[in-house]
Amino acid sequence: MRQWSGSYEMTPDGNPILDRSDIEGFWVVGGMCGHGFMLGPEIGWLAAEYIAGDKPPYNIDEFAIQRDFTGKEVMK
């Protein structure tokens, strides 16, 4: 029998967070509900584009820190 133990980051709406925080120079990329390895390449690329000052190629408002968390998961 095998067992795994660790942190399982979940947001109330099931979507990740990709946004700058209120702390200057501090960005949040997390809350991927256990799917971080699967979403990592795209989220990492989006984070790099966003942090470098480029506009992401599509709307990522669903991943904002200050969003309405009552919505449904968009990344199914």
Residues contacting residue 73 through CB under 8 Å, at least 6 positions apart: 13, 14, 15
For the residues 6-26, what does the mean pLDDT come to? Answer: 86
Residues paired with residue 28 on neighbouring β-strands, in sequence order: 19
64 vs 36: which has the higher pLDDT: 64
**Domain ranges within the chain, ordered by starting residue:** 1-76
Residue 19 has pLDDT above 90, yes or no: yes
pLDDT at 63 over 70: yes
Query: pLDDT for 30-60, tens place per residue?
Result: 888 767 778 889 999 999 999 998 888 889 8
76 falls in which pLDDT band (50, 70, 90)? low
Q: What are phi and psi of 51, to 5 degrees?
A: -65, -35
Tokens coding 17: 């967070």
